[in-house]
Amino acid sequence: MTVIALVSAKSSGVTTSALAMTLSSARPSLLAECDPAGGTLRAGFFQAQITAGTGLYHLAVAERAGEDALAQAFADHLVRIDVSGNRQVLPGLTDPAQAPALERSWPALAQVMRVLSDEGGYDVIIDAGRLALESGRLHSSLTPAPLLHGADLVLLVVRATDQSLALARHMTEPLRNELTDRGTGPGALGVLLIEDGPRRAHEVADALRLPVMAALPWEPDTAAYLAGTGSAPRKLNKSALLGAARTALGHLQAAASRRALHKQYPPTPTPPVPAASSAQAAPQVAGVLQRLGQGRVDPHV
Ligand SMILES: Nc1ncnc2c1ncn2[C@@H]1O[C@H](COP(=O)(O)OP(=O)(O)O)[C@@H](O)[C@H]1O
Ligand SMILES: [Mg+2]
């Protein structure tokens, strides 16, 4: 399946879009809230029902104990967001000060997400938050760069306004360079357009010199519900936002498959971890799949 990372230059709708995609996916889906600036789902969508005892930070602790512990912790820290258990969320950091502790864990986490996608059949949506730069490159502790390297697609989320485009323009080159040097190539990079302004997709593509791979409508009511500040729409699944998110995911999956098919990058990207540990990782990571499968209801039966 597909691993999609969403990033922004400035708060633009990354978390809302990632959640809309996760909720609308036709396949089992997993949202990993990996914004180093801290997660907002816990206080928002989850209405503070998830304590600090669950979430991303604990995976950094587990990773230090080895891949087995990481695989186990990964499954333990997922929160189901539908009754079938087919949609799950890894809640993010409770404090930006936790981000440096994650720096050495990102490669292993990228690998777990790859396995969940390739072998577990999950669509994995990564909320990688707002990008930070240092000397023209992605900041090593304030951006989860290894997650971007391992993703099939990296989408720069922008709004259809000149302000949003002006800020996003500064991020395209560092992102392109990063994916060229360490990721699956510059073709992984595209735009997710949030349609809240006057700029049309072709104008955005011209301004950023990137393809607009997907677009989502501006729908304040549904977005407010997803942010935990509004009541549930009568038919969430039929909302314009979730409908468009479903369509967007379809386009993105097709784009990712085309890339893989054309061998623009190896079907199994080289994980950014030392060869010895990557060779041993798969069996342990399989433990995550087993645990995730437990109690899951097949939506097709
Ligand atoms: N498609 C949308 N339609 C309407 N409002 C949106 C949409 N996407 C995001 N928003 C709103 O924009 C604000 C920022 O969104 P959020 O997803 O938290 O951005 P980020 O994660 O990039 O900081 C929130 O108030 C959210 O409800
Ligand atoms: Mg966010």
pLDDT value at position 112? Answer: 93
How much is the pLDDT for 290? 72
Q: What is the per-residue pLDDT for 38?
A: 97
Separation of alpha carbons 286 and 284, rounded Å: 5
Q: Given the CA of residue 40, which atom of ligand 1 is nearest to it?
A: 18
pLDDT along the chain (301 residues), means of 10: 96 98 94 98 95 96 91 93 92 96 95 92 96 93 95 98 97 96 95 98 98 98 97 93 97 92 59 42 65 56 35
- Strand extents, DSSP E, 71-122: 79-80, 87-90
Element (H, E) at 5: strand 3-8
Atom 6 of ligand 1, residue of closest alpha carbon? 223
Distance CA 266, CA 279 (A): 17
CA distance 218 to 195: 5
Residue 3 Cα to ligand 1 middle (Å)? 21
Q: Enumerate residues lining ligand 1, CB below 6 A.
A: 8, 11-16, 40, 194, 216, 218-220, 223-224, 227, 241
- The pLDDT value recorded for residue 301 is 35
Which atom from ligand 1 is nearest to the alpha carbon of 20? 1
Measured from the Cα of 18, ligand 1's closest atom is 17
Characterise 231 by phi-psi region: left (phi > 0), alpha (psi -120 to 50), beta (else): beta
The whole-angstrom separation of Cα 296 and Cα 148 is 28
Q: Which of 16, 19, 33, 131 to mutate to test the pocket of ligand 1 (most atoms within 8 A of CB)?
A: 16
**C-alpha of residue 175 to centroid of ligand 2, in Å:** 19
Using the atom order of ligand 1, give the atom closest to the CA of residue 35: 21
Q: Which atom of ligand 1 is nearest to the CA of 218?
A: 3
What spacing in Å lies between the alpha carbon of 275 and ligand 2's midpoint? 33
Distance 220 CA to ligand 1 centre (A): 8
Whether this prediction's pTM lies above 0.95 is answered by: no
Q: Which atom of ligand 1 approaches the CA of 12 most closely?
A: 22
Alpha-carbon separation of residue 257 from 124, 170, 246, 250 (angstroms): 15, 28, 17, 11
Per-residue model confidence (pLDDT) at position 300: 44
What is the pLDDT at residue 85? 85
CA of 292 to the centre of ligand 1 (A): 29
Query: Which amino acid, one-letter code, is at 227?
Result: A
Nearest CA to ligand 1 atom 16: 13
Query: What is the 14 CA–ligand 1 centroid distance (Å)?
Result: 7
Q: Which strand (E) or helix (H) includes residue 155?
A: strand 153-159
**pLDDT computed for residue 273 by the predictor:** 44
Give the residue, by CA position, lying nearest to ligand 1 atom 12. Answer: 13
User: What is the number of the ligand closest to the CA of 217?
Assistant: 1
The answer to whether residues 125 and 18 touch, using CB atoms and an 8 Å cutoff, is: yes
**How remote is the CA of residue 130 from the centroid of ligand 1, in Å?**
13
- The pLDDT score that the predictor gives to residue 58 is 97
Domains of the chain: 3-293 (3.40.50.300)
